[in-house]
A and B are shown apart, each in its own frame.
Chain A
Amino acid sequence: MVDVLIVGGGNAALCAALMAREAGASVLMLEASPKDWRGGNSQHTRNLRCMHDAPQDVLVEAYPEEEYWQDLLKVTGGETNEPLARLVIRASSNCRDWMRRHGVRFQPPLSGALHVARTNAFFMGGGKALVNAYYRSAEALGVKVRYETPVTEMLLDGDRFVGVVTEAGERITAKACVLAAGGFESNREWLREAWGRNDRGEWPADNFLIRGTRFNQGVLLKAMMKAGADMIGDPSQGHCVAIDARAPLYDGGICTRIDCVSLGVVVNREGERFYDEGEDFWPKRYAIWGRLVAQQPDQIAYSIIDRKVVGRFMPPVFPGVVADSLPELAAKLELPVETFMETLDGYNAACQPGTFNHTVLDDCMTEGVAPAKTHWAQKIDTAPFYAYALRPGITFTYLSLKVDDTAAVRFADKPSPNLFVAGEMMAGNVLGKGYTAGVGMSIGTAFGRIAGTGAAAAARAAHTIGRH
């Protein structure tokens, strides 16, 4: 029987596997996906939010614990757990040497992402390069990996882990286990149920795109809920951003973002604006736009810009719809031309003179139009005109297993002796709502490592007991 069984194959699972193996345990990983698709959402990530008190290789200046904590407190609106959050923050300050030892490499912030140069360490080549490095290191250390092996059932004896059953019906037992199988964001049925039906009679989640993997079906979250594990986090919530409507249903990843929203206007299917596009810098606002678009009829909206701002935002992956006049653009988008023109004419007329500067919160704003546009409000009047259709793209869900600082799964507020959880499956403890770039990987790395160490110790304990 193997000492430690790891369910999942993303960042949290790999960190747990490596730590357990380094602690001397024999380790078997079960990854649901084929090898080509391994790594879950972790393969789409680009950085890790890191505390540091002084400049560190790719990180500039300082990002002290307190500031990091305040940032988390702000984005979660208090739905966090201070001791666990601080544990993650401190772990983020010293995990990178360990990551490097296992082959992860860091790079300076990507062009277009300088706003996080101080707070976030970027993985060279992105998350897939990180995942590849961890798999190489794990295999070199003797961790066994089985791909295409989704787990469907948990075998428990009270609060004690016994084994799992795979989709193929195989029973695999182990002395200890780490669950790191992600959230339920890939499960369209569950999303539909969670988001429910709106006043228009629509099921909004039917129009959501999944930004990451198709393998995070939440099977184990469900299984653990059924088994009576303690849960945390709003089951009806997820992190949702506005992305290109033409993105593939799964795995569109980072490149499907549309970064021109704040430089133009956004209209819905009726040809009407519905929110201040210039409220703040786009990286600070793209998350609320997922929800905003989800509230529009048909869960679609259109970002409209003109020639003047081309080259002023990160280039979109697909070409926009182009037209030489605004009515023509509306017609191409199959929007009601009259309302569309009323909206744009109204907006254009409301634009006040100012000095446009897309790199600061400038003084270009509208007056006398609702909703107002409070920055970067320039007339949309220079052909050609471009449009990009937007849809809500779901990044992850918040529903989690409740943990304390040992990463043990809990039943009726008592920790299991040999079942642990890491990554997205428990991120809701720290991040009950909201998001700030790079926190997902910080949580997964910190708790993956704790869970791996804990599981190895639990396996050792089981071994000693077994001998007597």
Chain B
Amino acid sequence: MAAIDTLMDLAGKAERELDANVAEVDRILHICNACRYCESFCAVFPAMTRRLDFNVADAHYLANLCHNCSACLYACQYAPPHEFGVNVPKALAQVRRDTYIEYAFPRVFGELYRCNGLTVAMAVSLGVAAFLIATILIKGSLFVPGLEGEFYAIFPHNTLALVFGAASLFSVVALAIGVTRFWRQVSEPGKPVAMPAAVGEAAKSALTLQYLGGGHGDGCNNKDDAFTLWRRRFHHFTFYGFMLCFASTSVATLYHYLFGLEAPYPIFSLPVILGTLGGIGLLIGPAGLFWLNMRRNPLQMDDRQKTMDRGFIALLFFISLTGLALLAWRDSPAMPLLLAIHLGFVMGLFVTLPYGKFAHGIFRCAALLKHAIEKRRPNPVQAGAD
């Protein structure tokens, strides 16, 4: 009984917290809707003017449309210490965390967001430990001379493909279910629109991180009211670095199965070039994002997401670092050790994809798409005071 009570208590608390976070967004956006000074900074404000009240679905949608650029915090005449205490980026960040929790699949795993630093640390530790143990079990030692460059002498390619294939398949399915449920809740029926145009616009906004530009292109805010483009640039390093690494793996898989070409590939082969470039991006990007994150004005953030953000940044950084180290020393006896560590980090990322910061990209894309669709429909609120 006691256990059930505790669970019910926890569930009740989570619900009240969600209600409180949505209520805060509703309160603040009522003020913004009467003010509208921030209309050109981003997509959130134009989306807001299509509504008079903000329910749970609206709050989730707008929260994920927000890029946390914080231009509207420094520009706000009602920001703290004003008694209205308007802080849009913070209020929306709080709901964003609720989105990740609420729409995670399976739902109970959403709870992992509540202690995300621990989640990521555990996933990585377990991943690394598993590969280290496996290496020892298979080869009897972590330093095996004579295996230089022979990755598959330790873990056969098919085993790796199976393990990582299964992990990523699960993650992709879990993310897809989550974002589909999100989509169902936030989208409403309406006039059909030109979908290719809408998708194109959303993709462009996502790929250029348009809304980290502050509307004027000067950038977003980090520690004070001055604008910086570095957050966007470092995210580009991170994102495109990640995509290059992903491309590298995909090309390598094609080489393997289609052409029967086995790793290790020469330095000037496509997979290694893509992987190295991506790896460098994935060092510079996360390092820069970490630096900015440490200097960010606490007013702009939801405190409870600091560990999730920093944990994810660190994870990406170490994946890249261990990957590049493996490339550098692949022909040394340390190769098995480095391989096990690198695979462990990658596994840590793969299994936490649907339960960590990675989800932000997916939900943001969905929100951008919804916005691109919705803005092509007539505004249901005809409030023109003209």
Give the CA-CA distance A44 to B78 in the complex, in Å.
9
Interface check B111, CB cutoff 8 A? no
> Is the beta-carbon distance between B216 and A255 smaller than 8 angstroms?
no
> Is the beta-carbon distance between A314 and B218 smaller than 8 angstroms?
no
Nearest chain A CB to B183 CB, angstrom units? 26
| Total residues of chain A contacting the partner, CB 8 A | 46
29 contacts between A and B (CB under 8 A): A37-B81, A43-B77, A44-B77, A107-B39, A107-B40, A111-B384, A113-B386, A124-B216, A125-B74, A125-B75, A126-B35, A126-B37, A126-B38, A126-B77, A128-B76, A129-B75, A132-B225, A136-B226, A251-B82, A255-B31, A256-B34, A281-B385, A312-B383, A314-B34, A315-B34, A315-B52, A317-B35, A358-B384, A359-B386
> Is the beta-carbon distance between A112 and B36 smaller than 8 angstroms?
yes
> Is the beta-carbon distance between B37 and A315 smaller than 8 angstroms?
no
Residues of B within 8 A of A (CB): 30-31, 33-41, 46, 49, 52, 71-72, 74-78, 81-84, 215-216, 218, 225-226, 380-386
> Is the beta-carbon distance between A125 and B72 smaller than 8 angstroms?
yes
> Is the beta-carbon distance between B75 and A128 smaller than 8 angstroms?
yes
Pick the most buried of A259, A282, A314: most chain B CB atoms within 10 A of its CB: A314
Give the CA-CA distance A364 to B95 in the complex, in Å.
45
Interface of chain A residues 106 through 132 with chain B (CB within 8 A): 107-108, 110-115, 123-129, 132
Nearest chain A CB to B79 CB, angstrom units? 8
Q: Which residues of B contact A127 (CB under 8 A)?
A: 37, 77
| B35: nearest chain-A partner, CB-CB | A255
Known contacts A44-B77, A46-B37, A128-B77; 5 further A-B pairs (Cβ under 8 A): A112-B49, A126-B38, A128-B76, A129-B71, A248-B84
Interface check A105, CB cutoff 8 A? yes
B-contact 0/1 string along A171-182, CB 8 Å cutoff: 000000000000
A110-B37 contact given A43-B77, A248-B83, A251-B77, CB 8 Å threshold: yes
Nearest chain A CB to B201 CB, angstrom units? 18
Looking at chain B's contact residues, the main secondary structure is loop
> Is the beta-carbon distance between A317 and B34 smaller than 8 angstroms?
yes
Nearest chain B CB to A214 CB, angstrom units? 11
| A46: nearest chain-B partner, CB-CB | B37
A132-B74 contact given A113-B385, A315-B52, A315-B383, CB 8 Å threshold: yes
Interface of chain A residues 34 through 78 with chain B (CB within 8 A): 36-37, 43-44, 46
Contact of A316 among B34, B74, B215, B386 (CB under 8 A): B34
Q: Which residues of A contact B76 (CB under 8 A)?
A: 128
| B215: nearest chain-A partner, CB-CB | A124
Residues of A within 8 A of B (CB): 36-37, 43-44, 46, 105, 107-108, 110-115, 123-129, 132, 136, 248, 251, 253-257, 259, 281-283, 310-319, 358-359
Contact of B385 among A124, A283, A317 (CB under 8 A): A283
Contact of B225 among A37, A107, A136, A251 (CB under 8 A): A136
Nearest chain A CB to B36 CB, angstrom units? 5
Q: Which residues of B contact A359 (CB under 8 A)?
A: 384, 386
Nearest chain A CB to B48 CB, angstrom units? 10
Nearest chain A CB to B202 CB, angstrom units? 22
Give the CA-CA distance A312 to B383 in the complex, in Å.
4
A313-B75 contact given A108-B40, A124-B215, CB 8 Å threshold: no
> Is the beta-carbon distance between A311 and B41 smaller than 8 angstroms?
no
Give the CA-CA distance A124 to B74 in the complex, in Å.
12
Q: Which 5 A-B pairs have the closest CB atoms?
A: A126-B37, A125-B75, A107-B40, A255-B34, A129-B75
Q: Which residues of B contact A248 (CB under 8 A)?
A: 83-84
Nearest chain B CB to A44 CB, angstrom units? 5
> Is the beta-carbon distance between A255 and B78 smaller than 8 angstroms?
yes
Give the CA-CA distance A242 to B31 in the complex, in Å.
18
> Is the beta-carbon distance between A114 and B386 smaller than 8 angstroms?
yes
Give the CA-CA distance A360 to B303 in the complex, in Å.
49
Give the CA-CA distance A282 to B385 in the complex, in Å.
7
Give the CA-CA distance A382 to B78 in the complex, in Å.
35
Q: Which residues of A contact B218 (CB under 8 A)?
A: 105
> Is the beta-carbon distance between A115 and B215 smaller than 8 angstroms?
no
| B29: nearest chain-A partner, CB-CB | A315
Give the CA-CA distance A36 to B41 in the complex, in Å.
22
> Is the beta-carbon distance between A125 and B38 smaller than 8 angstroms?
yes
| B221: nearest chain-A partner, CB-CB | A132
Q: Which residues of B contact A115 (CB under 8 A)?
A: 385-386
> Is the beta-carbon distance between B77 and A259 smaller than 8 angstroms?
no
Q: Which residues of A contact B216 (CB under 8 A)?
A: 105, 124
Pick the most buried of B52, B384, B386: most chain A CB atoms within 10 A of its CB: B386
Nearest chain A CB to B62 CB, angstrom units? 15
| A135: nearest chain-B partner, CB-CB | B225
| B71: nearest chain-A partner, CB-CB | A125
Give the CA-CA distance A83 to B75 in the complex, in Å.
35
Q: Which residues of B contact A128 (CB under 8 A)?
A: 37, 74-77
Nearest chain A CB to B358 CB, angstrom units? 31
Q: Which residues of A contact B31 (CB under 8 A)?
A: 255, 317
Nearest chain B CB to A281 CB, angstrom units? 7
> Is the beta-carbon distance between B384 and A112 smaller than 8 angstroms?
yes
Q: Which residues of B contact A125 (CB under 8 A)?
A: 37-38, 41, 71-72, 74-75
Nearest chain B CB to A311 CB, angstrom units? 5
Give the CA-CA distance A124 to B384 in the complex, in Å.
19
Q: Which residues of B contact A43 (CB under 8 A)?
A: 77
Q: Which residues of B contact A254 (CB under 8 A)?
A: 34-35, 37
> Is the beta-carbon distance between B77 and A107 smaller than 8 angstroms?
no
Give the CA-CA distance A115 to B46 in the complex, in Å.
18
Q: Which residues of A contact B36 (CB under 8 A)?
A: 110-112
Contact of A107 among B49, B78, B215, B385 (CB under 8 A): B215
Q: Which residues of A contact B35 (CB under 8 A)?
A: 126, 253-255, 317
| A117: nearest chain-B partner, CB-CB | B386
Q: Which residues of B contact A310 (CB under 8 A)?
A: 52
Give the CA-CA distance A257 to B31 in the complex, in Å.
11
Q: Which residues of A contact B34 (CB under 8 A)?
A: 254-257, 314-317
| B218: nearest chain-A partner, CB-CB | A105
Give the CA-CA distance A125 to B82 in the complex, in Å.
17
Q: Which residues of B contact A257 (CB under 8 A)?
A: 34
